[in-house]
Amino acid sequence: MGTTRIQHARILMIAGTALAGGLLISCSSLERTLVVAPQIPDATFTGNRSCADCHVNYTRGFASTPHARVQIPAAKPVGETGCESCHGPGSRHIAAGGGRGKFIVNPGKDPSACFQCHLETRAQFHLPQRHPVMEGKMNCVQCHDPHGLEILKPAGGMSMARADEPCAQCHRDQTRPRVYAHEAMREGCTACHQPHGSINAKMLIQPDLNLCLRCHAQVQGAGVPNGQFVIGAINHSTLVTRGACWTSGCHTAIHGSDINHHLLY
């Protein structure tokens, strides 16, 4: 990162902190408005402590989770900044003696609660190439653990996640061990793919040569004519007119090959 960008970031942080400090002078014990909690007919907010009576496995480690960043401990009521922010008001659920999905919102089945905050993610799930969450064939918790120390599965609870495992549970062919692995796989699937949705086929971040050249560009020698470029020891100037590295009929084994170290097949 350049010096200018560091300064830019610092200025924004200072300004944000100053704004926060100013606003904090005026505090209130009224209802917080962090998110629009899901609605449950005739139900009212009860607060986090009621949830902890039964769901202690989720609540006792919750302070360590990424979602705790937005769990503001308001004096009263705490409904809209705690468990009920995502699960809806819990009074009827409690009155019914609990039960899976009984008068309670399960974001695992319906992503609406997640989209109250994750607006950008919601937009991605509406792009032409996407995982079918909006179509109801997948859900957020298949890949994410909203109550875990790490947001990615399969960690669970206080455990730590392992990169790419959420992807590998369905995309075994792309993540399986190969004789010659593509080094980019070490960066994780998200090095090249946008897992929520993309405008590009196969949910790629970029559909063209830029995706590969982000890592494979090199200093061009004095012997390379203007407008041409070499990758490795091969002049690719003509080859890249055909398209991207993996669409041009060359590096088709882009996730790794069992037979060719140039990932040609």
Partner 1 sequence: MNPTAHRAPRLAFWLLSSLGVAAADIDESKLPAPESRPIDFQRDIKPILQENCLRCHGPERPKSNFRLTERTLALKGGNNGLDIVPGDSAKSPLIDYVARLVPEMEMPPESKGAPLSTNQVAVLRAWIDQGVVWNDGSNQLATASVIEVTPLVMGTMVQGDKAKFRELEWRPDGWDGGVERFSLSQQGADGRAVTVEGHLSRDDYHLTLDLKKPELGFARLGFEQYRKYYDDGGGYYGGFTPPFYRLGEDLHLDIGRVWVELGLTLPQWPRLVIGYEHQYKDGAKSMLTWGPVASPTGDFLDARSIYPAFEQINESADIFRLGVTFDTHGYQLEDTLRAEIHSLNTRRTDALYVSAGGAAPDLLTVVQEAHHSLQIDNTARVQKQLYDWWLAGVGYRYSWLDADSSLHLNPQDAAGQPAAGSAWSANKLLLNEIWQVANATSQFQPLRQFTATIGIQGQWKRQETFGDANMDEVVDPADPTSGIFRYPATEQSALNQTTAEENIVLRYTGLPFTVLFAEARLKQEDYSRTADQDGGPHAFQLASDAAATWQDYLVGFSSSPWARVSFGGHYRHRDRHTQYDYSLAQHDGAYPGFIQARGIVADEIEARATFRPANWVTATLTYRWNDSDYRTTTGATSADLAGADATPGGQVLAGRYRTHGVSANATFTPIRRVSLSATLSYLNSDTTTADNGSASVAPYRGDLWSVFASVNWTIDDSTDLFAGYTFSQARYGQNNTQDGLPLGTDFDRHGIQMGLRHAFNRTVTGRLQYAYFSYNEPTSGHLVDFTAHQVLASVNLHW
Long-range contacts of 233-242 (CB under 8 A, 24+ apart): 240/209
Instruction: Give me the amino acid identity at 146.
Output: P
Closest CB to partner 1 among residues 81, 140: 81
Closest CB to partner 1 among residues 140, 236: 236
CB of 89 vs partner 1, minimal distance in Å:
14
Distances (CA, A) of 113 to 1, 117, 118, 151: 36, 8, 9, 16
222, 215 contact by CB (below 8 A): no
Closest CB to partner 1 among residues 42, 119: 119
Q: How many residues bind partner 1 (CB under 8 A)?
A: 127
Give the footprint of partner 1 on residues 87-106 (CB under 8 A): 94-100, 102
248, 242 contact by CB (below 8 A): yes
* Residue 188, phi then psi, degrees to nearest 5: 105, 160
Binding string to partner 1 for residues 161 to 190, with x set by CB under 8 A, is what? -x---------xx--xxxxxx-x--xx---
What SS3 class is residue 130?
A: strand
Three-point CA angle 53, 59, 62, nearest 5°: 170
CB of 178 vs partner 1, minimal distance in Å:
8
Give the footprint of partner 1 on residues 2-41 (CB under 8 A): 5, 9, 12-13, 16-17, 20, 23-28, 30-36
Instruction: Verify binding: residue 1, partner 1, rule CB under 8 A.
Output: yes
Give the footprint of partner 1 on residues 221-240 (CB under 8 A): 221-224, 226-230, 232-235, 237-238, 240
* Cross-strand bridge partners of residue 259: none
What SS3 class is residue 156?
A: coil
Give the footprint of partner 1 on residues 130-159 (CB under 8 A): 132, 135, 137, 149-150, 156-159
Give the footprint of partner 1 on residues 46-75 (CB under 8 A): 49-50, 53-54, 57, 60-61, 63-64, 68-74
